[in-house]
């Protein structure tokens, strides 16, 4: 039997029942199968070592029904609001005698300066491999510009996590983007999650990326600070 070694209402989880951590860079709206009424506020901070670019995004997430949640995110570059982002997420249920959970996520964005709409649709799948090891994976599509529907990316997000203690988790996240010309771009983020009392948590990570065509290889540092109610 695989036990859930995490507490309930843990801010770093993508599934409370299975105790699967939540990715740092490409996070979930709320843990899959969250009960109605859960609320989280968080802020994501990114810093590029190559360009010096600093971005941050406050976010609010709410489970409006059991297994369903909505979010609003406001990405900034320095003090400039870049876009509006909304998300909706649902849970399909559990598989493999309760060791796997899956669901879906839809994201929509509006770029304020490009006047451009874009959207993601993803399938989510998390598995508890043992008391210590778990994985969360996502696959889907991104329409980068609704005015040109051939601008489509395939999105793949793979995560492996090791539960070190009740409050500390280490993991690695690989975000991949593949365009219609089969060009692969990536962001690799080793990360540490630390859970505190009363729903507070922090995630810290960093690693190489080539998502920006103008920069061959960038090095990004990311921090997410969370409070769950």
pLDDT at 8 over 50: no
Domain positions in the chain are 13-228
pLDDT at 3 over 80: no
Chain-centroid distance of CA 94 in Å reads 20
Q: How confident is the model at residue 2 (pLDDT cuts 50, 70, 90)?
A: low
Which has more pLDDT, 182 or 136?
Answer: 136
Closest CA to 41 of 55, 20, 62, 24: 62
Predicted local confidence at residue 134, as pLDDT: 96
Q: Is the Cβ–Cβ distance between 15 and 202 less than 8 Å?
A: no
Predicted local confidence at residue 14, as pLDDT: 65
Whole-number Å distance between alpha carbons of 55 and 196: 25
Predicted local confidence at residue 51, as pLDDT: 81
pLDDT at 9 over 50: no
Closest CA to 15 of 144, 163, 147, 114: 163
Whole-number Å distance between alpha carbons of 20 and 101: 10
Predicted local confidence at residue 1, as pLDDT: 46
pLDDT digits (tens, 9 = 90+) for 48-80: 988 888 999 999 999 999 999 999 999 999 999
CATH of 13-228, one of 2.40.160.40, 1.20.1260.10, 3.40.50.970, 3.40.50.12500: 2.40.160.40
∠ CA 61-64-68, nearest 5°, is 85
Q: What is the pTM of this model?
A: 0.91
Predicted local confidence at residue 151, as pLDDT: 82
């Amino acid at each position: 039997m695989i036990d859930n070694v995490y507490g309930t209402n843990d801010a770093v989880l993508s599934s409370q029942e299975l105790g699967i951590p939540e990715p740092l860079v490409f996070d979930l709206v709320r843990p899959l199968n969250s009960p109605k009424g859960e609320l989280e506020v968080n802020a994501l901070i990114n810093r590029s070592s190559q360009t010096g670019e600093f971005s941050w995004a406050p976010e609010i997430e709410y489970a409006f029904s059991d297994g369903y949640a909505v979010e609003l995110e406001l990405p900034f570059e320095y003090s400039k609001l870049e876009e509006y982002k909304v998300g909706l997420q649902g849970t399909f249920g559990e598989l493999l005698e309760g060791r796997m959970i899956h669901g879906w996520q839809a994201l929509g964005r509006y770029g304020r300066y490009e006047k451009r709409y874009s959207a993601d649709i993803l399938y989510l799948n998390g598995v508890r491999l043992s008391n210590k090891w778990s994985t969360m994976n996502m696959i889907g599509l991104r329409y980068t510009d609704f005015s040109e529907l051939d601008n489509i990316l395939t999105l793949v997000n793979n995560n492996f996590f090791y539960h070190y203690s009740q409050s500390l988790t280490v993991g690695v996240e690989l975000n991949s983007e593949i365009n219609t010309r089969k060009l692969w771009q990536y962001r690799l983020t080793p990360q540490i999650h630390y859970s505190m009392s009363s729903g507070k948590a922090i995630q810290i990570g960093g690693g190489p990326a080539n998502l920006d065509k103008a920069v061959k290889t960038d090095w990004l540092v990311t921090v997410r600070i969370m409070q769950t109610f």
